[in-house]
Amino acid sequence: MDAANPSNGDEESIITPLLAPQRLLVNSSSQVALVGANICPIESLDYEIFDNDFFMQDWRSREDFQIFQYLVIKWLSCFLIGLIMGLVGFFNNLAVENIAGKKFVVTSNMMLEGRYWMAFLVFSVSNLLLTLFASVITALICPLAAGSGIPEVKAYLNGVDAPGILSPRTLLVKIIGSIAIVSSSMVVGKAGPMVHTGACVASLVGQGCFKVFGLTWRWLYHLKKDRDRRDLVTCGAAAGIAAAFRAPVGGVLFAFEEMASWWRSALLWRAFFTTAIVAVVLRSLIDVCLNGLCGLFGKGGLIIFDTYSDFPSYHLKDLPPVLALAFIGGILGSFYNFLLTKVLRVYNLIHEKGIVYKVLLACSVSIFTSCLLFGLPWFASCQPCPSSAREICPTIGRSGNFKKFQCSSGHYNDLASLIFNTNDDAIKNLFSKGTDSEFQFSSMLTFFVTCFSLSVLSYGTVAPVGLFVPVIVTGASYGRFVGMVVGPYTNLSHGFFAILGAASFLGGSMRTTVSLCVIMLELTNNLLLLPLVMLVLLISKTVADAFNCNIYNQIMKAKGFPYLEGHVEPYMRQLTVASVLTSPLQLFRGIEKVRNVVNVLKWTSHHGFPIIDEPPFSEFPVLYGLILRAHLIVLLKKKAFLSVPTLGLERQDALKLLSADDFAVMGSGDVDRIEDIQLTDEEMEMFIDLHPFANTSPCTVLETMSLAKAFAIFRETGLRHMLVMPKVPGRSPVVGILTRHDFMPDYILSLHPLLEKSRWKRLRIKFHLKKKFF
């Protein structure tokens, strides 16, 4: 746990995973925890600026040129992140388009020859092998890479550190597994995994991959601080969205609106620079592919859906169906979130039985998906090719609006054009203009139900799967169906309704507005859609918020991440800081015996310890500062000891054993353990001067302060520890420490169960009011 407060338990234990009520005092660390992965402890990150004499003296000793180098390396890091993510995004799409495209070409050729059973066998077996490969490498090599990764990155940027979520192994499995599972025709997306990939790349850049280029200057340890790495991970998350959709501005806004808990103008500039590099790299590489050097890439679904570039004319009479679409889309989006969390609960029960069951479940979903995708088009009637078709009808080969499937010459299967395709191609077909007469009611309804169901069933599988693209596909089919229903009464085309439907579903599920609006505009390459897209997003989000929260927050809550929300719970205003403190602290003196330090570190899991000066170093007990567990371990490891507890010349000799580099944070979860420190009996009787290494300006509050006010200060300043001072001076200058654990609703309500009753009463009143309103 982060604070030296024994009774609070481990900070990582504040929220128990939904399906493991017997596992108290632990948290899951990844998306796979919802589907059976082992749970592991979670720590908080040190986003606060740590003021102590040692670090300040080291910074004052730096020259202007060294400070300039520090600023340059930040921008160089952003450039490398953008460059790497541009390459990853391009080759990810290149691999998916060629693997999936080759599969569809072979299957289509067999269909043309009348070898239907062999075509089904090739289609289903190839999908099964791709799913098996993705699930096996995820389950065996890195279970942390399963899921979209957005909840993990969002929690990390909030200050939650789950070991391994940004490791090189996670990055490797995320890239390879995402390519395989997206190519397997499962209704999953690549945007979420790309965000996680960008965060991993950014974290590795900040940890010292610069050594490859020989950049090993002494001041590089600054980029290994949690605060600097947080900024890089934010830029990496923005680059992930930019690489997935070629939406640089949307990527920046998504990182700002959905991912980051703290934002400032300097970070905005660096994030924008990073996504701009991604856009330039992608554009350059795509231009190369226009010459036919990339196989099937570029002939099917590109990264951008440039499908609706004409002027959409609409009038006041067109607003009622758009408003209805947005209202129903919000309800469907919230229902989608509800079903997804329930399915994840069921999957967790299956995956707890072992790796074999995880892989078998993924394979079962793959087989079921293949049967639906190949079988449903047989129930759709063949349509004659329209005389005004802008492309060859029927389509032979990779992609297009007029899939022949089992139809005779001169006819096409409209359902196969949507369902027997990649997600990118399906979206292009749905968004395309001038296609109002190409799809049937029954086909569109079937496609909507299929996408809705398969995306819910596919997300919980043990593979790097995302939700962004499936939600777009599902929403686009819903919008197109609405457009077909109200078509005689509106001037808007079915393709326009598909775009609005995708926006409504995104707003109902993801609950972001500004970033999704810009992403949709960048996807469709049409700024004229802005007014109606804004309106749809606002209405769908408002309606969906009446039922539940966004899908990523629900997943974080289910996994037990101690995520600090941006708002204060009303009942916190009824409590004081002292009401959540439950036991005495573990304190250290300014000069402490080595044996005492070792024993405390071995027998507790605290990560922060107040330092108290007592006579003869002060007239009365006074708080000197706060020291971290990691810093104490460094002092023990370097054996910066004193033979006598004095502040003489021996102290200067001990300080010479240390440098600022020794205290650099090397990586997420990569820290030394007290069990690895070997000390002799003579050394155990020596002393450590903790004064130079203590944060002399920790955040302190009075015990009578409102818990709501303390929460606002804690979150807005990105604290890990908050010291509580007594109202009336007593024997101890500190009465407790607050960590994010103490602000978690489940913990607070466990201490004050009467608040739970009043909370449920307010929720019931709120529910009845909403029910009456709607």
- List, in sequence order, the alpha helices (H) in 352-391: 355-375
d(CA 456, CA 344): 9
Instruction: Name the least confident of 11-25, 101-115, 302-316, 597-611.
Output: 11-25
DSSP lists the bridge partners of residue 701 as 724
pLDDT, tens digit, 9 for 90 and up, residues 44-53: 887 877 777 6
Q: Tokens at residue 207, please? A: 């940890």
Residue 773 has pLDDT above 50, yes or no: no
Nearest in space to 630 (alpha carbons), one of 588, 663, 660:
663
Give the end-to-end CA distance of the chain in Å, rounded to a whole number.
Answer: 45
DSSP state of 190: S
Any residues with CB less than 8 A from the CB of 63 and at least 6 apart, and which? none
Q: What is the pLDDT of residues 31-45, one digit of tens each?
A: 333 323 445 567 788
Residue 688's φ and ψ, nearest 5 degrees, are -125, 130
d(CA 400, CA 382): 16
Q: How confident is the model at residue 196 (pLDDT cuts 50, 70, 90)?
A: very high
Provide the pLDDT confidence category of residue 17 given band limits of 50, 70 and 90.
very low
Q: Which of 225, 203, 227 is nearest to 47 (CA)?
A: 227
What is the mean predicted confidence (pLDDT) over 106-117? 86
User: Is the pLDDT assigned to residue 216 strictly greater than 70?
Assistant: no
Q: Note whether 425 and 416 are within 8 A (CB).
A: no
> What is the pLDDT at residue 693?
85
Identify the pLDDT of residue 215: 47
In this predicted model, which residue has the larger pLDDT, 184 or 669? Answer: 184
pLDDT band at residue 23 under the 50/70/90 scheme: very low
Q: Residue 342: its pLDDT value, please?
A: 92
Residue 719 CB neighbours (<10 A): 23
The reply to whether omega before 616 is within 30° of 0 (cis) is yes
- 219 band by pLDDT with thresholds 50, 70 and 90: very low
Handedness of CA 448, 31, 44, 15 (dihedral sign): positive
Q: Convert the pLDDT of each residue in 366-405 to its tens digit.
A: 999 999 999 999 888 888 887 766 667 777 655 566 777 8
Distance set, CA 530 to CA 247, 517, 521 (Å): 15, 7, 7
Q: CA 228, CA 92: separation in Å to the nearest integer?
A: 28
Lowest mean pLDDT of 120-124, 142-146, 538-542, 617-621, name the range. Answer: 617-621
Question: Once rounded to an integer, what is the mean pLDDT over residues 329-345?
Answer: 94
SS3 for 43?
Answer: strand
Of 596, 564, 611, residue with least CA distance to 742 = 564
Residue 383's alpha-carbon distances to 403, 413, 427, in angstroms, are 10, 6, 20
- The model's confidence at residue 165, banded by pLDDT at 50, 70 and 90, is confident
Q: What is the mean pLDDT of the chain?
A: 81
pLDDT of residue 98: 87
How far apart, in whole angstroms, are the C-alpha atoms of residue 579 and residue 596?
Answer: 30
